[in-house]
Structure formats: C-alpha cells, structure tokens
Amino acid sequence: MAKVTIWHNPRCSTSRSTLSLLEQHGLDPEIVEYLKTPPSAEELKAVLKKLRMKPRDLMRKKEALYKELGLDDEALSDDRLVETMAENPILIERPVVLFGQRAALGRPPENVLDLFTDL
C-alpha cells in the first residue's frame, strides 16, 4: 500500500479531526507539520495537480496575509501564487492528505476517505 501523508497543523481542529479519522480507519499517516516544514513550489505544483485545483483554490482567503499581500488580484499568475504559498505556508488550506498519486483536502474531514475507496 502507498504511504499516506497529511499536511497537518496541530492547532487546527479540522486538521486534528482529519488525522483522527485516518487513524480510526487503521491508517498511520506520515505527519508533516507544513508550517514548520513548508513544501517547495515544485511540491505544491505536484499536489495541486493531484488535487485537480488551481492555486487560489488551495489558499486561505480569510487569512490576513492574503489581503496584505494583495493576493485577491486576479492578474497574479498561478506561478506567483504558488511561490507565495511556498514562502508563506500559513496561506495553504489544511489539511491535505496525500496517498500515492492522489490527494484530497480534508474540508470536511470525510473528504479524505474517498482516497481509499478503491482499496
């Protein structure tokens, strides 16, 4: 079976709930505290592809930094948004669960269970 990884923020109740849900289903995910160990721009691009999302879809738009950096400007390129997330991981929506060539955003936590339905 492929490795399960969660981009986790232990201070976030949704992230904690998603981790708990994975554990309740017998999974022992690798926990990456992405605020301490941020993904690179290349990693983010790969994950966005797995999620089938555009960069803005994975951004925390209510985060004060989003407004401060003017990230609501539709003229900003996807590459610039990805670079900004890599530089400021607080902007990355959480939690993200990775499983092989698939990924899911745990909002709500039950979304991640779809990754394992074909097993």
Which of 87-114 are b and which e, b meaning 16 or more Cβ less than 10 Å from the residue's Cβ?
Answer: ebbebbbbbbbbbeebbbbbeebeebee
Catalytic residue ranges: 12
* Torsional sign, CA 91, 96, 101, 102: negative
Strand duo 4-8 + 96-99: pairing: antiparallel
